[in-house]
């Protein structure tokens, strides 16, 4: 069993719980023990696209973690919380409510490479411990600024004229970007405070909501429903990079980890496949020298 299950993670379910649900349903469907991993954590208060890798696809989890992602999120103005979300304790308040024009004018400064301070309630390690464990223990956690990139940021939908109690935005961001921090900083930029009251991931790398299934559909699969549209092939996670078809001799060389030369192709990352179109490996071409990055052990 190799491939992807793209879960539309519901509210309140943690990423580890989602992985456990996939393992349970695979067992119930008769697939036995399958290696399972996820391609990017989603907080329990967030919903949306959670790529879950099966078997050899778990070798792509690191690449999925590095992929850009798209979120819809709502900033509720007037209260900043300790976790920068709806669950945290209120730590600051403001009576000021910005206008739509003020929000839109402020967004430009957050597009492109930016520095942001992650939330204290995050999985980042500080002195070898998770920041959220330190924060929950009542310790003051000094989070270091980190560089991230916001590729695009805009108002998600039309809103009413006048002072805004909240606004919903869409952000396309690089790995490592915290939407809760982005929301906090946008609120500060328009002269108030705020927190995230809704967060939904609509894309993770090549996967979007169109390929995602509900938890109910996953559970139905475990109870014997057809697996069509449930398990996607490994190559579904590779559609954003070029494919390279190798001859049988070249395929054997790549599988053995040998370096290839003399293949006319662009520099960069590719996924190699044989004549049967089966994925063989992730390969990197640099100045005509092709090296294996990660091999796949897939039997015909």
User: What is the set of active-site residues?
Assistant: 43
Instruction: Estimate to the nearest angstrom the gap between the alpha carbon of 30 and the chain centroid.
Output: 29
User: Which tokens is 70 given?
Assistant: 């798209």
| DSSP states of 47-107 | EEEEEEEEGGGGGGHHHHHHS-EEEEEEEEETEEETTSBTTSPEEEE------HHHHHHHH
Q: For 139, which DSSP code?
A: -
What is the DSSP pairing of strand 90-93 with strand 112-116? unpaired
Report the C-alpha gap between 88 and 248 in whole angstroms: 57
| DSSP states of 166-217 | EEEEEEEE-TT--HHHHHHHHHHHTTS-EEEEEEEEEEETTEEGGG-B-HHH
Q: Tell me the three state secondary structure of residue 112.
A: strand
Closest CA to 224 of 13, 69, 27: 27
Q: How many residues does the chain have?
A: 300
Q: For 242, which DSSP code?
A: -
Helix and strand numbers, DSSP H then E, in the chain: 7, 18
């Amino acid at each position: 069993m190799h491939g992807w299950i793209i879960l539309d993670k519901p509210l309140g379910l943690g990423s580890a719980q989602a992985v456990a649900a996939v393992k349970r349903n695979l067992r119930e469907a008769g697939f036995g023990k399958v290696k399972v991993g996820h391609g990017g954590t989603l907080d329990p208060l967030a919903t949306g696209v959670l790529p879950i890798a099966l078997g050899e696809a778990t070798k792509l989890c690191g690449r999925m973690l590095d992929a850009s992602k798209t979120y819809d999120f709502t900033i509720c103005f007037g209260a900043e919380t300790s976790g920068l979300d709806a669950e945290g304790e209120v730590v600051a308040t403001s009576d000021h409510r910005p206008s739509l024009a003020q929000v839109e004018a402020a967004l430009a400064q957050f597009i492109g490479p930016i520095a942001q301070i992650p939330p204290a309630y995050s999985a980042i390690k500080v002195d070898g411990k998770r920041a959220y464990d330190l924060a929950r223990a009542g310790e003051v956690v000094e989070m270091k600024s980190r560089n991230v990139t916001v590729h695009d940021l805009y108002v998600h939908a039309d809103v009413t004229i006048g002072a805004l109690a909240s606004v919903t935005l869409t952000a396309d961001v690089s790995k490592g970007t915290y939407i809760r921090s982005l929301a906090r900083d946008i609120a500060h930029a328009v002269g108030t405070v705020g927190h995230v009251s809704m967060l939904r991931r609509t894309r993770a790398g090549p996967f979007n909501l169109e390929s995602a299934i509900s938890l109910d559909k996953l559970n139905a699969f475990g109870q014997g429903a057809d697996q069509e549209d449930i398990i996607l092939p490994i190559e579904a996670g590779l559609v954003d990079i070029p494919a390279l078809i190798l001859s049988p001799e070249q395929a054997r060389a790549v599988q053995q980890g040998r370096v290839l030369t003399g293949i006319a192709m662009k520099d960069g990352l590719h996924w190699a496949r044989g004549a049967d179109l089966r994925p063989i490996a992730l390969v990197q071409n640099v100045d005509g020298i092709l090296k294996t990055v990660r091999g796949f052990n897939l039997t015909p």
